[in-house]
Structure formats: C-alpha cells, structure tokens
Amino acid sequence: MSALHQQTAEELSRALKAEEISSQQIVQSCFERISETEHLGCFLHVDQANALKAAQASDDRRAKGEKLSALDGIPVALKDNHMTLDMPTTAASKILTDLQSPYEATVARKLREAGAIILGKTNMDEFAMGSSNEHSAYQAVRNPWNTECVPGGSSGGSAAAVAARQVPLSLGTDTGGSIRQPASMCGVYGLKPTYGRVSRQGIIAFASSLDQVGPFARTPKDLAALLDIIAGYDPLDSTSAQVETPRYSDELLPQVKGLRIGIPNEYFGEGLQDEVRDRIEQSVDSLKQAGAIVTEISLPHTQYALSTYYLIATAEVSSNLARYDGIRYGARIEDRDLRKMIARTRSAGFGAEVQRRIVLGTFVLSAGYYDAYYGKAQKVRTLIRKDFENAFDSVDVILTPTSPFTAFPLGSKTKDPMSMYLSDICTLAVNLAGVPGLSVPIGFSDAGLPIGAQLIGPWFKEKRLLQIAQYFEENLSMSTKSPDL
Ligand code: GLN
C-alpha cells in the first residue's frame, strides 16, 4: 500500500471501512507530508491538535459501528477566505491579521457534520484577487511540478496542496477562474459549481454576484464526494438556489457516447500556447473516437468578457471591502482623526492589487460614469449569458482550454496587471453567465507542466461534467501522476 497521504479520498475511505487504517493515521501522514513539503507555502494556518482530536472522534464513531458519511475521517483543507471557529481567517490580507471569526461558513459546518477533518487554511491571493497567488500578503505558493513557477490563483494553496499530496481534498472559491485556473496549472481536478449551487454564507465576499465555492481533488469521484457534502440550498445565503440536488457520486460512470460537444472558436485565438492547443485537439479526437459528436460553435460576446468582468467585479469589490475600516474588523492604525485613522488603516492593510481594484470600482460606480461603465457592463453580461443559453440549445457541453498557457515563472507577471488578467481569459465568461465549469488535467507540456481542459455545462448540470471528467480519468489516469518533490 502506498503512503497514506498519496491515496485518494475514495481509497482512504475504503481502507477506513475495512479497518485497515485509522483516521488518526491518515491525519498524521498528511501533517508529515505538509512539513516535508513546507517550502511550497500552501498553508497559512494548520491546526494539528484539533485535527487529531476530530480524527479520534471519527475513529470512535467507527468503532461504535455508527453509520458514517463517505468522508468521515478524511482530511480536507479550506481556502483562508472560509470562516472557521478554530483557526484565524485572514483572506491572506494584513487587514485581517488574526481575525477570529465568531461563526463558521456553512460549508465548513457541513464538512464537520459529515465527519471530515479540517486540517488547515490554505494560502491565496489577497481577498482572492489574482491569478498566481503572488498577491498573498504572506508567502507566495510554489507549483509542485516546478517550484520556480506559480501554482495559479487565487486558490493556489488549495490546488498545490492537493497536487503535492499534502491533503486529498480542498475547497476554493472561484469568482473569475480561481478554482479552475490553479487546478489546470497544478494538474488536478477543480470544479466551479453553478452560481447558487453551494452556499456562500461565511465566505469573505469578493464580488458577490460572481463568487462560488467549489472542490479540488485528484479524481472526479473524489470531487463528486466532496460536492455531495457542500452542495444544496442554504436559507442563510439569499442567492442560494432552491433546486433539487442530485447525488453526484452515485453511478459516476464515463458518459461520452452520443454527447454533443461544442468547441467555441473564440477560445482558440491569439495567445494560446501551442502545446495547450495540441493537447486540447488530442482530447477532442479521443472524445470523437469514443462516440461524441463534436461541432464548432460561436460564443460571440466572449471578446467582451474580460472588460465586463473587471468592471462588475471591481464595482462589487469597492462596496464589499468598504467594511474594512479599522473599526470593527482586523488591524487598525491609530489616529486621533477618524478619517485619517480609516485612511491609514486601509492604506497599510490592503496590498497594491486590492487597492487598485477598490479605486477602479469606486470610479466605475461614481456619478457621471455609472451608466457608461457599470450600467453598460451589466447589459453586456446579459449578452454573454445569452451566448451560453443559445449554445446549450444545440450542444450538451462546451470544451475549451482552462488557461491559455501553462504555469509561468514566479515574478514574471507581477509588474504587468494586464498580462496577469489575461490568465483568466478562458474562465471569466463562465462566472458572468453563472454556469458550472470543471477543469480536467489532460497532460503535460514538454517542460513537464500540467495542461487542463475546461468543461462548461448548462446551469445545474455538474453531474454531466463529472461524468465526462470520469471518461478522461479512465483514459489518461492523470490521478496516478504525481510531482517529484
Ligand atoms: N484572477 C481573477 C481575478 O483576479 C479571478 C479571481 C477569482 O476567481 N477569485 O479577479
């Protein structure tokens, strides 16, 4: 049997059931791995004592013969924008240094109720704004496949921790690509569910009309098992959808025969790395051979996705981040003058990228510019959504690259925000439309860096995406390829 930290949640769960191992042993093995590979910088907080206590409680439940969930005793890591009671929640920002939340995110509560063990909180770009994890106020995260490269972002810690076998499962958030893009760059599976599928209650808000929580895992089955626990209506989140939730892990069989797959030509233009294009084409060929019907489609408003996203997201940022004024939350820089206290606190507490977005968002919402920028962006957002509605009249799923390029060297884009923003060119429209997107690892570049394909489905059709991902896993066995660390 391979080391415990190497195993998938499904394998661990089977071994727990067979009483071959204990949850305490699994948790111990993950902590050993985390400290062995600490140079990757994936975690901002770990809580070994509480995790071991929770593992012992899980082992006790099992010994008593209680009926347990599939993830009882299995470790999970949470991005550090998920409120938790036992660890600080900083969103990787200095302004929230040591913030101790008085309540817990719904998804964290659901995980605990299912018996999963929360090992720690993962590193991220500050307030989830970024595509490389380099905007963390703490350390950068390193890509497990090449430690001189970024892991992607903003959920870089969650993606890298799963890729590096530190933990079998993790949660991230995705506002414009922050689950799918790092999943692609780290060679793991990552799903952004339909907007409203998973509760956002207790998640630090970035852009509330776009934010969505979702899972990372090394196999589609593990992704489904985690989604089973976190998905569903939550009365505490006003945007939570009251739509029936299927059992994602039931009969998760590869479903490709007769499937109508659309390939949007807008996603294959300038800036796409040749090796990414080649791998995507190979994947499309393999799907055809398995009986899928592939057609070229058009999503004509794709070219406006980037500007629309940066108008809407920054407008929401300027409003959501107004609450960090040094009075109620986090750090404060004292000054006898109230205005100066707020200004000094915000200037010292927020990093450069967050400040850039607050200023931009304030501008696009200001009198005289509102209609020209924010109002227009909302109209274009509707057109982008309609592109997807039209496409799904004739296809079951859309396939694109997840990221136009593989992981890039640390420091190579930090001075050029526009080139950083272009990392998300393939993922942004999905958030604007609210549809689900799943990044599937499909191979490697010549330099040994992972490449991902993005599967986009109609609203609430996550199961369909998981079934196609399962086809890829059975054909390529990407879950068995691990970085040499
Ligand atoms: N990289 C995008 C941004 O910087 C998306 C971030 C996200 O999805 N949280 O806004």
The residues that are catalytic are 79, 154, 178
- The pLDDT assigned to 328 comes to 86
Q: Which residue(s) pair with 441 in the sheet? A: 452
Both tokens of 432, joined, read 């604007």
- The pLDDT assigned to 330 comes to 81
- Burial label, 105 (beta-carbon count in 10 A; 0-12, 13-18, 19+): buried
* Nearest protein CA to atom 5 of ligand 1, as residue: 176
- The pLDDT assigned to 205 comes to 98
Q: Which atom of ligand 1 is nearest to the CA of 310?
A: 10
Pocket test for ligand 1, best of 123, 154, 427 (most atoms within 8 A of CB): 154
Q: Which atom of ligand 1 is nearest to the CA of 178?
A: 8
Both tokens of 54, joined, read 């929770």
Ligand 1 centre to CA of 174 (Å) is: 7
Whether a cis peptide bond, with omega within 30° of 0, leads into 154 is: yes
Q: Helix (H, G, I), strand (E, B), or coil: what is residue 132? A: coil
Q: Which atom of ligand 1 is nearest to the CA of 173?
A: 9
DSSP string covering 279-338, please?
HHHHHHHHHHHTT-EEEEE--GGGGGHHHHHHHHHHHHHHHHGGG-SSSSSS-----SSH
Residue 242: DSSP 8-state = -
* Among 56, 169, 253, CA closest to 479: 169
Query: Alpha-carbon distance 470 to 485, whole Å?
Result: 27
Ligand 1 centre to CA of 126 (Å) is: 10
Ligand 1 centre to CA of 442 (Å) is: 23
Q: Give the DSSP H or E segment for 444.
A: strand 437-444
Both tokens of 357, joined, read 């977005």
- The pLDDT assigned to 1 comes to 54
- Is 283 within 8 Å of 399 (Cβ atoms)? yes
Query: Alpha-carbon distance 84 to 230, whole Å?
Result: 15
- The pLDDT assigned to 255 comes to 85
Q: Which atom of ligand 1 is nearest to the CA of 207?
A: 9
In the chain, DSSP finds a helix count (H) and a strand count (E) of: 15, 11
Ligand 1 centre to CA of 405 (Å) is: 16
- The pLDDT assigned to 430 comes to 98
List ligand 1's pocket residues with C-beta within 6 A.
128-131, 154, 173-178, 206, 313, 424
Q: Which residues contact 464 (CB under 8 A, 6 or more apart)?
A: 255, 396, 397, 457
Q: Which residues contact 108 (CB under 8 A, 6 or more apart)?
A: 78, 82, 83, 84, 118, 202
Q: Helix (H, G, I), strand (E, B), or coil: what is residue 177? A: coil
* Among 424, 446, 449, 453, CA closest to 280: 453
Q: Which atom of ligand 1 is nearest to the CA of 423?
A: 1
Ligand 1 centre to CA of 108 (Å) is: 22
- The pTM (predicted TM-score) of the whole model is 0.98
The segments of the chain whose pLDDT lies below 50 read: none
Pocket test for ligand 1, best of 131, 136, 439 (most atoms within 8 A of CB): 131
Per-residue CA distances from 474 to 169, 253, 329, 403 (Å): 20, 10, 48, 23
* Among 375, 323, 314, 396, CA closest to 129: 314
Q: Which residue(s) pair with 452 in the sheet? A: 441
- The pLDDT assigned to 272 comes to 95
* Nearest protein CA to atom 10 of ligand 1, as residue: 129
Q: Which atom of ligand 1 is nearest to the CA of 177?
A: 8
Ligand 1 centre to CA of 154 (Å) is: 6
- The pLDDT assigned to 2 comes to 72
Buried b (16+ CB within 10 A) or exposed e, 335-349: eeeeeebbebbbeeb
Beta strand 43-46 with 117-122 is: antiparallel
Ligand 1 centre to CA of 309 (Å) is: 9
Q: Helix (H, G, I), strand (E, B), or coil: what is residue 125? A: coil
Task: Tell me the HSE value of 330 on the side-chain side, using a 13 A CA sphere.
Answer: 22
